[in-house]
Amino acid sequence: MADVFEKISKRRTFAIISHPDAGKTTLTEKLLLYGGVLGMAGSVKGKATAKHAVSDWMEIEKERGISVTSSVLQFSYGGFYVNILDTPGHQDFSEDTYRTLMAADCAVMVIDASKGVEAQTKKLFKVCVMRHIPIFTFINKLDREALDTFDLLDDIEKNLGMATCPINWPIGSGKRFKGVYDRNTKLIEVFSDTRKGTKTGKSEKLALDDDKLDSLLEYGQLDQLLEEIELQDGAGSPFDLDAVRAGELSPVFFGSALTNFGVQTFLEHFLQMTTEPLPRMSSEGLIDPMKETAFSAFVFKIQANMNKAHRDRIAFMRICSGEFKAGMEAWHVQGEKEVRLSQPTQMMAEKRTIIEEACGGDIIGIFDPGIYSIGDTITDSDRRFAYEGIPTFSPEHFARIRQADTMKRKQFMKGINQIAQEGAIQIFQELNTGMEEIIVGVVGVLQLDVLAYRLKNEYNVDIIMENLPYTTIRWIENEQIDLDRLSGTADMKKVKDLKGRPLLLFAHDWSVGMTIDRNEGLILSEFGKA
Ligand code: G4P
């Protein structure tokens, strides 16, 4: 059994998060290049060549050339098996993006050096913080004009409320970008502009007193570097591995993914600083993958109808402990049934591959005959426990929907219930009314398009959709509160979710605070309990 622990100890499973266009895809491609998975850069997502990413199964994705779903990529490097959970790069990301973070042990945040922290990064970051997972920062595009380094670090600390510790420090930016200074080895890694797609550029490291620096750096650049380093050493947070692992300190790296500069340095440090797969809370307390020998996994995403001809569903699971073997019998905790885990697949950059085995830390896709829900636990048949569920994330867009043809009410209800059960949308009803009014809530507006498309294509139902002005939702934590007497704001609506839990919708953020003020003892939460 020690073998299993040895294998698991080499797994590193992380999600890459960023605002669209910061360079997440480019960085992923370069990482895969080091893992020998991609022969050339540009294969993960080819915008111009219409070469679609792994996850672009659905027609709607193809039509728009964007990726709606998240995919998983695996490669090995330096004895480690690295699982990258990619997240949709489009502005209109979905709840899947959030859920993906629940399956990762740490996150890599890519920031555009000319822009600093942007909206989408902030949202995703909140989920990372909720989970206390380590967050690594890669500040990208130093080959373009960048913001001041101190300002960038300040921006992260202020906006995200997390201390930072730069591992290296950039020298200039844009045309004056000369490389990065490693604060630990005190060597300058000289910027070499590799051609797009080449694996290793010229790697040159120079000491601060190296004569070559005279010709390499522009006038004043060395003095500026020394000054900045002195300032940072004096005022910045010192490196503390425990704080990094507790998700309290983000190590920061500078580079340029496009020119493949700083990527390998980042990868190597990252692998050293991260831990093996983390323990997870269950109905039997913490399950530590380095102690628990039994197989266990939880479902974090369900992808329906990847192959239209078969109407198939794939349940993506994060293996938390033990070993998985294709076709094995296991226990589906929520379904209270023995299941055979068949057709296991793993994502390898361009295609789905059938796999025979996997272990804690890995992500697999299992054929789902329609029995799994997001958050379900699968365990060894003789070791039954349930992992803590995945919270429901706050939708930010709402619409009232109904079927265009009243005769199709049954199909319509079946469709939206199934799609909601997969976790592709959230549905709500007005309090104290029947099922007539259906309100759909989504994290990204694209999910509404996907809903309309799927109802038409899979259930043959056209819908009429009316956008609602709400932008903010809060779950009521203390359910004993008398809803009829709850005094809210004019823009507030009371609804309930599928499980009958009461919620409040608001058109304005500030109404949340006002409602709390007006109702003594009312506790509102941004995430729904699983
Ligand atoms: P995303 O997944 O975060 O949305 O970003 P993506 O990697 O697609 O990068 C967005 C754009 O930024 C791309 O340009 C990409 O080439 C460019 N980029 C990424 N990293 C760097 C970098 O280090 N330096 C510079 N200068 N540019 C970078 P594009 O023109 O939108 O696409 P493409 O035609 O190059 O594919």
- Measured from the CA of 29, which atom of ligand 1 is nearest? 7
Q: Is the CB of 144 within 6 Å of ligand 1?
A: yes
Q: Is the CB of 43 within 6 Å of ligand 1?
A: no
Mutation choice for ligand 1 from 16, 19, 258, 261, CB with most ligand atoms inside 8 A: 258
Residue 103 CA from chain centroid, whole number: 8
Q: Is the CB of 89 within 6 Å of ligand 1?
A: yes
Give residue 38's pLDDT band: very low, low, confident or very high (50, 70, 90): low
Q: Is the CB of 120 within 6 Å of ligand 1?
A: no
pLDDT at 463: 95
How far apart CA 251 and CA 245 sit, in angstroms, is: 10
- Cα of 46 vs centre of ligand 1, distance in Å, is 11
Give residue 350's pLDDT band: very low, low, confident or very high (50, 70, 90): very low
390 secondary structure, DSSP code: P
pLDDT at 308: 53
527, 393 contact by CB (below 8 A)? yes
Q: Is the CB of 18 within 6 Å of ligand 1?
A: yes
How far apart CA 167 and CA 147 sit, in angstroms, is: 18
- Measured from the CA of 110, which atom of ligand 1 is nearest? 3
State how far the alpha carbon of 203 is from the alpha carbons of 192, 206, 208, in Å.
7, 10, 16
Q: Is the CB of 257 within 6 Å of ligand 1?
A: yes
Q: Is the CB of 139 within 6 Å of ligand 1?
A: no
- Cα of 166 vs centre of ligand 1, distance in Å, is 23
For residue 174, give both structure tokens: 């844009």
Q: What are phi and psi of 258, to 5 degrees?
A: -60, -40
Q: Give the list of residues 6+ apart from residue 499 with CB closer than 8 angstroms, or none.
A: none
Whether 27 has a pLDDT exceeding 80, the answer reads yes
HSE-CB of 159 using CA atoms within 13 angstroms:
18
Q: Is the CB of 24 within 6 Å of ligand 1?
A: yes
Looking at per-residue pLDDT, the higher value among 77 and 391 belongs to 77
Give the Cα-Cα-Cα angle 429, 433, 437 (nearest 5 degrees): 45
- Cα of 79 vs centre of ligand 1, distance in Å, is 29
Whether 325 has a pLDDT exceeding 80, the answer reads yes
Q: Is the CB of 401 within 6 Å of ligand 1?
A: no
Residue 224, helix vs strand vs coil: helix
pLDDT at 517: 94
Whether 284 has a pLDDT exceeding 80, the answer reads yes
Give residue 349's pLDDT band: very low, low, confident or very high (50, 70, 90): very low
How far apart CA 444 and CA 342 sit, in angstroms, is: 32
Q: Which of 125-129, 159-163, 240-244, 467-471 has the lowest mean pLDDT?
A: 125-129
- Cα of 197 vs centre of ligand 1, distance in Å, is 13
Q: Is the CB of 21 within 6 Å of ligand 1?
A: yes
Q: Which stretch, 294-298, 340-344, 523-527, has highest mean pLDDT?
A: 294-298
- Cα of 42 vs centre of ligand 1, distance in Å, is 10
152, 166 contact by CB (below 8 A)? no
Locate all alpha helices (DSSP H) within 90-218, ordered by sequence: 95-102, 119-131, 149-160, 212-216
Residue of the nearest CA to atom 15 in ligand 1?
Answer: 23
Give residue 310's pLDDT band: very low, low, confident or very high (50, 70, 90): low
484 secondary structure, DSSP code: G
Q: What are phi and psi of 471, to 5 degrees?
A: -130, -15
Residue of the nearest CA to atom 30 in ligand 1?
Answer: 21
Q: Is the CB of 143 within 6 Å of ligand 1?
A: yes
Mean pLDDT, the chain, rounded, equals 85
pLDDT at 131: 85
Q: What is the mean pLDDT of residues 438-460?
A: 88
Looking at per-residue pLDDT, the higher value among 150 and 526 belongs to 150
Q: Is the CB of 426 within 6 Å of ligand 1?
A: no
Q: Is the CB of 25 within 6 Å of ligand 1?
A: yes
- Cα of 23 vs centre of ligand 1, distance in Å, is 5
Whether 64 has a pLDDT exceeding 90, the answer reads no
Residue of the nearest CA to atom 10 in ligand 1?
Answer: 21
Residue of the nearest CA to atom 32 in ligand 1?
Answer: 47
Domains plus CATH for the chain?
A: 14-72+87-273 (3.40.50.300), 280-379 (2.40.30.10), 397-525 (3.30.70.3280)
- Cα of 132 vs centre of ligand 1, distance in Å, is 29
pLDDT at 345: 62
Q: Give the list of residues 6+ apart from residue 199 with CB closer than 8 angstroms, or none.
A: 33, 34, 260
DSSP for 36-83, please give it. T--SSTT-S-BTTTTB--TTTTSHHHHHHT---S-EEEEEEETTEEEE
Q: Kindly provide the residue ranges of all beta strands, DSSP E only, lying in 215-370, ordered along the sequence.
A: 249-254, 280-282, 285-287, 296-304, 313-321, 323-325, 329-332, 337-340, 345-348, 351-354, 357-359, 363-367
Beta-bridge mates of residue 296: 321, 379
Looking at per-residue pLDDT, the higher value among 530 and 7 belongs to 7
Residue of the nearest CA to atom 11 in ligand 1?
Answer: 21
Residue of the nearest CA to atom 29 in ligand 1?
Answer: 21
Percent of the chain clearing pLDDT 90 (strictly above): 54
Whether 53 has a pLDDT exceeding 50, the answer reads no
Residue of the nearest CA to atom 33 in ligand 1?
Answer: 47
Q: What is the mean pLDDT of residues 407-413?
A: 93
Q: What is the mean pLDDT of residues 405-409?
A: 91
Site of tokens 């009410």: 409
If 0-12 CB within 10 Å is exposed, 13-18 middle and 19+ buried, where does residue 91 land? Answer: middle
Q: What is the mean pLDDT of residues 190-206?
A: 70
- Cα of 21 vs centre of ligand 1, distance in Å, is 6
Task: Give me the helix-helix angle, 149-160 and 119-131, nearest 10°.
Answer: 60
pLDDT at 506: 96
- Cα of 140 vs centre of ligand 1, distance in Å, is 10
Looking at per-residue pLDDT, the higher value among 362 and 196 belongs to 362
pLDDT at 472: 94
Q: Is the CB of 250 within 6 Å of ligand 1?
A: no
How far apart CA 188 and CA 168 sit, in angstroms, is: 9
Whether 197 has a pLDDT exceeding 70, the answer reads no
Whether 187 has a pLDDT exceeding 90, the answer reads yes
Q: Which of 30-34, 69-73, 189-193, 421-425 has the lowest mean pLDDT?
A: 69-73
384 secondary structure, DSSP code: -
Give residue 265's pLDDT band: very low, low, confident or very high (50, 70, 90): very high
Residue 33, helix vs strand vs coil: helix
Q: Is the CB of 22 within 6 Å of ligand 1?
A: yes
Whether 245 has a pLDDT exceeding 70, the answer reads yes
State how far the alpha carbon of 155 is from the alpha carbons of 113, 150, 152, 164, 235, in Å.
11, 8, 5, 10, 16
- Measured from the CA of 47, which atom of ligand 1 is nearest? 36
- Measured from the CA of 48, which atom of ligand 1 is nearest? 34
Mutation choice for ligand 1 from 25, 26, 92, 111, CB with most ligand atoms inside 8 A: 26
pLDDT at 11: 95
Q: What is the mean pLDDT of residues 57-79?
A: 59
- Cα of 27 vs centre of ligand 1, distance in Å, is 9
Q: Give the list of residues 6+ apart from residue 226 with CB closer than 8 angstroms, or none.
A: 208
